[in-house]
Structure 1
Amino acid sequence: MSSHGVQRWALTTCFIYLLLSSSCTATAGKVPAIIVFGDSTVDAGNNNYIPTIARGNFPPYGRDFDGGVPTGRFSNGRLVSDFLSEALGLGSSVPAYLDGSYTIDQLATGVNFASGGTGMDALTAKVASVITLSQQLEYFKEYKERLKLVKGDVVADEIISEALYVFSIGTNDFMVNYFFMPLRAAEYTPEEYINYLVGLAEAAVRDVHELGAHKIMFGGIPPFGCVPAMRMMNHDAPGECNEEYNRVALMYNAEIRAAMGRLDGEFGGGARVVYADVYDVPYDIIANPSGYGFEEVAQGCCGTGAIETSVLCGMDAAFTCQDADKYVFFDSVHPSERTYRILADDLIRNSMQVFM
């Protein structure tokens, strides 16, 4: 064989190898960006830039984040969305959209629109004066246009189409709104309110799909009756999980799962909508903390661990625990980074596999 023939053979072999091995390349090749909507379980610091007291941009929040920086995440370190981003071969954290220190180029591989304290019900957001879900979607439209200006229509459309969209929202609609504010409880039974929220969730997913989303992961809600603050306020059994609240969470999750399944079947063009279970793993951790290496489940690491969250967490910093990895919760509502990592690992193995 001539030298030219050897070169052609080598190039052809290399090309075939690349084609055959493309399915084994890093997932970032298939998912170029992660786009996040939701509440404090995924807020990366958007609340820092709006007039609200629902913030986590001060110690002891963020003490185990890179550099010990309190970014506005309501935990001692990273969140589920950050771990998902890392698993996709993208950044190790997803930046907040309202943080002006990030350029659109930096946001092209990941952007976070979430706002701590919000819900699908706009009334929930009003309680803490935070960003509604509808406003998060408006920010996404703005982001899309900014992306086109910098990347061009073709590249921007590809990013928007192939990105993974993550929704983590709904707990505050029950924990902050329905069970503690008079209006919705007077208007709806729990079942009726669940149906109302599911309708809002479906509308949000339809909106992002119409804007170009093809890979959507919508989370349920955790067993919020077991968070330390709900245990403290459990009048029937102080210190124990409020099982009524957990039953409502299960009812809601069943309806959300069904709704996402319907949308998954309805959308064409290769679009997928996947329900992400965030109830079973946290419930198992709470029921069997030692099996996961935790020592404290009924109290948060921050302050006295009973009712502190947001500004109250900062006020009791002197009482904050030494090792947050031993605590399921960092404050009285939000999980520790280690809990988020365990949950993220489960989502990566199960819910997210369809996109990888």
Structure 2
Amino acid sequence: MLLALALSSVCFFFVGHAQQPSGNASFPALFAFGDSILDTGNNNFLLSASKCNFFPYGRNFPGGIPTGRFGNGRVFSDIITDGLGIKTLLPAFRDPNLSNDELPTGVCFASGGSGFDRTTYGFQNVIGVPDQVNDFQNYVGRLNNAVGSEEANAIISNAVFLISSGNNDIAISFPQRGLLYGGIGGYSDQLVTWTNDFIKSLYNMGARKFAVMGTLPLGCLPAQAAFLRSCSVPVNLLADTFNQKLSANLDNLGTTFPGAKFAYVDMYSSLLGVINNPLASGFIDTTDGCVLMPIPCLDANTFVFWDYAHPTEKSYLTIAPPLVEELKEKLA
């Protein structure tokens, strides 16, 4: 059932133009962890086939260049960083040309194709979400050298830690390993446990503001919907089961991690709302990927999806404003 999603993982869930970092009083920085929804180019520097640093990716990015972002323009991590008033583009930490000037306002550690389950990321040679903590630890050392430990601690404790959870694990690993955990109920419980362990690792390093994303409506991705011409209800049920458990878990983490704040980022309902009422936002096609047409679409702004698994930049821009406002309310 999810085989099509697994086969599309090469581009499933580099670095932008130079900009003047700004930050703001409430959120001086943003750090992104997870998969290709957030990856801004880390995979470019890996010996992996899970890359999208080629045309027509980046067609609508400033300059029209393929940067390694999994879409036609900016990705969700860029847009949330911009919406919070920090900076317009979030650079990839693995970029060897990353400037020290970028460090105080945040970087991206996410890796396309990644997940919490080693089965998800092991065969692709991408950076597993648990292993992204190691990159963050290296970042902290570099930040300390750049601004001093006192300022570095202040940045980290006030920064937003944006985490994408579950997309590739459910799409790739659940069909292979789900029965070992007793089905989607047991597997989603394990994903929540892995997410908590990851949060604990970051918390122990000073993180206090967590924005944790649920999965997209996986049954509506073109890998599924293009064949059915509509969303796959069973696949969406798998995603929704996990999302509900993740959201409920975050509501109770305040006592586990004193002083921390948590916000659930509802990617599922937000994007599903656009798919169910596309004309309200100017979309025409909700089931095909722009670059999957016999001739790539001329206007990606009329497509909800860019390829088999990734929304277009306009889709992210459409769903982001209320999500940004919720983050400001819950994490400030």
TM-score (norm 2): 0.90
Q: Does 1:226 align with 2:209?
A: no
Task: Tell me which residue corresponds to 1:199.
Answer: 193
Q: Which structure 2 residues correspond to residues 73-222 of structure 1 after superposition, within 5 A? A: 73-179=69-175, 182-222=176-216
SS of residue in 2 equivalent to 1:274? strand
Look up the SS of the partner of 1:192 in the other structure. helix
Partner of residue 335 from structure 1, selected from 311, 315, 318: 311
Residue pair 1:52, 1:128 contacting (<8 A) in 2 also: yes
For 1:211 and 1:83, the matched residues in 2 are separated by 25
Confirm or deny that 1:274 pairs with 2:263: yes
Residue 232 (structure 1) shift: 4.1
Q: State the superposition RMSD in angstroms.
A: 1.6
Higher helix share: 1
Residues of 2 paired with 1:153 and 1:186: CA distance?
Answer: 45
Kindly provide the amino acid, as one letter, of the partner of residue 299 in structure 1.
Answer: D
**Partner Cα distance (2:54, 2:164) in 1:** 23
Q: Aligned residue for 1:324?
A: 300
Identity over aligned pairs, percent: 35
Taking the TM superposition and a 5 Å limit, the aligned residue runs for 1:29-108 are 29-108=25-104
Q: Distance in 2 between matches of 1:350 and 1:159?
A: 21
Matched, 1:248 2:244: no
Contact 2:56–2:66 at 8 Å: present in 1 too?
yes
Structure 1 residue 69, shift from structure 2 partner:
1.6
SS at match of 1:266: coil
C-alpha displacement at 1:231, in angstroms?
A: 2.1
Partner of 1:289: 278
In our comparison, the structure showing a higher alpha carbon Rg is 1
Give the C-alpha shift of residue 212 in structure 1: 0.2
Q: What SS does the corresponding residue of 2:292 show, helix, strand or coil?
A: coil
* Matched-pair contact (CA < 8 Å) for 2:84–2:324: no
| Displacement after TM superposition at 1:107 (Å) | 2.3
Structure 2 unaligned blocks of 5 or more: 1-21
**CA distance in 2 between partners of 1:292 and 1:264 (Å):** 36
Q: Which whole-Å CA distance do the structure 1 matches of 2:134 and 2:202 have between them?
A: 10
Q: Distance in 2 between matches of 1:232 and 1:283?
A: 15
SS at match of 2:73: coil
Q: Structure 2 counterpart of 1:291, which letter? A: A
State how far apart, in whole Å, the 2-side matches of 1:169 and 1:249 are: 11
AA matched with 1:340: Y
Amino acid at match of 1:285: V
Q: Which amino acid aligns with 1:293?
A: G
* Contact 1:121–1:173 under 8 Å retained in 2: yes
Letter in 2 for 1:243: V
Q: Structure 1: any 5+ residue segments left out of the alignment?
A: 1-25, 305-315
Number of aligned residues: 311
- Normalising by structure 1, we get a TM-score of 0.84
Equivalent position to 1:350, from 320, 326, 331 = 326
